[in-house]
Structure 1
Amino acid sequence: MSDPTRTSQSTRHATGPAGAAARTPAAAVAPTVRRPLAATARALIAAAALTGLALAVAASPDPPRLLADFAVQANLAAALGFTVSAHRAWSGRRPVSPRLTGALLVFLSLAALTHHLTPPSDTTNLLLTTATPFAALADWLLLTAPRGFRLPYAWQWPAYPLLHLSLTTLHTSPPRPSSTTITIAATACLLPLITIAIDQVRPAPRLHRNRISPTGISPLK
């Protein structure tokens, strides 16, 4: 199979404009494709996560303890991840790896589900446990190409939630009911499988409506 980044022996020694064009990889002259709608949506998701975190800190009598809360951790990761993703969509750079975006989606969804499976805690504001997870879900379904998730992610994504669950179960007072712990663990294991399965069969969103091509050679505007 030919490598598009390499030049043939006949063009390697060519001179002048024709030789320079022949030696330029195709990827280097591809038009930049910007997605301002996706960038704006992801910036808003990051802002929602940061606002939820700020409200949680303001309402908590012991802000440092918030760092041990899974919903706080998930939203902190989402704020960083969606900020980077928004910048890449706006500048036309390559998207963030599906391995990372899928992990954020699973973490936020698990935080939302856990909120309804366990008694209320200090971090119960709707931005952390409802608004940000639903916004991330909408971004995935409406602004992300399908079939980016791979089956190995199904055992990679639950690793941290299960580790966090085991640590918090040992240090929670009063102890969390065993039935609740089992339910959360099962959800952490099944949610990635469900997410990957949906990603394989969901229709592709009409992403071309959200793109801007800086040149006139691309049909995508």
Structure 2
Amino acid sequence: MSDPTRTSQSTRYATDPAGAAARTPAAAVAPTIRRPLAAAFRALVAAAALTGLLLAALGSPAPAQLLTHFTVQANLALALVSAGSAHRAWAGRRPVSPWITGALLSFLALPALIHHALPAADATAFVLPDTGLPTTARALSHHLLVTVTPLAALADWLLFTAPRGFRLSHAWQWPAYPLLYLAFTLALPTAAGAPPPTAATGLTLALASFLLSLITIGIDQVRPSPRLRKNRISPTGISPLK
């Protein structure tokens, strides 16, 4: 395979404009393609996650204890990655690795699935604890962290991310942290700040983490590509435009 950053012997000593263009690496002539719409959306995603975390901390008698909950950890990671991804999209830099974005998507989907489809596991440390009487701020925080941010991460993946970036090896890499967290809640329920899940619930959570990863990878392989701007600068040809 040819290396676009290297030049052949026939063009190395050329002095005419065509030879100079052939000697120029593709990275030096590729334009910076900014994506302001993706940047704005990801900034809103980061703001939603941070708002939910702040409201949860304000409504909790022990804010530091919230860091032991899986939903809080996943949303905190989402806020950091979305902020960095928004900056990259605005500056026209390389996007965040699909390994990171896919892992975050599966992490956020797990507590959302627990809350909406597995009520038996809703009292575990995978979701936010019930700290008392329901208030508007607490209800809004819960809604943001287990519904809005997972849907926003899903929309970011479908609308602003190129498909077929996930690999089959991710199917066993992404569930590694949820399984470690599940083992932590079973071994140290007091440190987790929530009752440990039952054996049936733990098995369901472990199976769900694997299935979510496989489903995400499968959808990524067949979904259509979003309408992303493409670089029309030729990487190897002498002519600047195709």
TM-score, normalization by structure 2: 0.81
Query: Which of 116, 119, 135 is the matching residue for 2:122?
Result: 119
Q: Secondary structure at the match of 1:129?
A: helix
- Which consecutive segments of 4 or more residues in structure 1 shift more than 6 A? none
Counterpart of 1:129 (choices 119, 143, 146) is 146
The answer to whether the 8 A contact 1:42-1:86 is kept is: yes
Write the distance in 2 (CA, Å) between the matches of 1:151 and 1:142.
Answer: 22
The AA in structure 1 aligned to 2:170 is Y
Q: Contact 1:36–1:212 (CA<8 Å) still a contact in 2?
A: no
CA RMSD of aligned residues (A): 2.3
Q: What's the TM-score, normalizing by structure 1?
A: 0.88
Q: What secondary structure is seen at the aligned counterpart in 2 of 1:4?
A: coil
Aligned residues with identical type, % of pairs: 66
Q: In the alignment, what sits opposite 1:164?
A: 181
Cα separation, partners in 2 of 1:136 and 1:155, compared to 1, 3 Å: same
1:153 pairs with 2:185? no
Q: Distance in 2 between matches of 1:218 and 1:165?
A: 53
Q: Distance in 2 between matches of 1:46 and 1:189?
A: 26
SS in structure 2 at match of 1:194: helix
Which residue of structure 2 aligns with residue 139 of structure 1? 156
Show CA shifts across 1:124-153 (max 9, x none).
711111110011011111221111111011
Segments of structure 2 that go 5 or more residues without pairing to the other structure are: 131-140, 233-239
Which residues of 2 match residues 19-168 of structure 1 at below 5 A? 20-116=20-116, 117=118, 118-120=121-123, 121-122=128-129, 125-168=142-185
Deviation at 1:37, TM superposition (A): 0.8
Distance 1:16 1:36 in 2: 38
**Distance change >3 Å, CA 58–CA 218, structure 1 → 2:** farther
Say if 1:218 and 1:3 are closer, same or farther in 2 by CA, change over 3 A.
closer
- Aligned residue for 1:205? 226
Distance 1:4 1:119 in 2: 53
Q: Which stretch of structure 1 is more off in the superposition, 170-179 or 3-12?
A: 170-179
CA distance in 1, matches of 2:104, 2:11: 46
> How big is the shift at 1:52?
0.8
C-alpha spacing 1:167/1:218, structure 2 compared with 1 (3 Å): farther
Which moves more between the two structures, 41-50 or 122-131? 122-131
**Alpha-carbon distance change, 18 to 200 in structure 1, aligned in 2, over 3 angstroms:** closer
* Mapped partners of 2:41, 2:178: distance in 1: 26
SS in 2 for 1:145: coil
**In 2, distance between residues paired with 1:32 and 1:175?**
50
Aligned partner of residue 198 in structure 1, secondary structure: helix
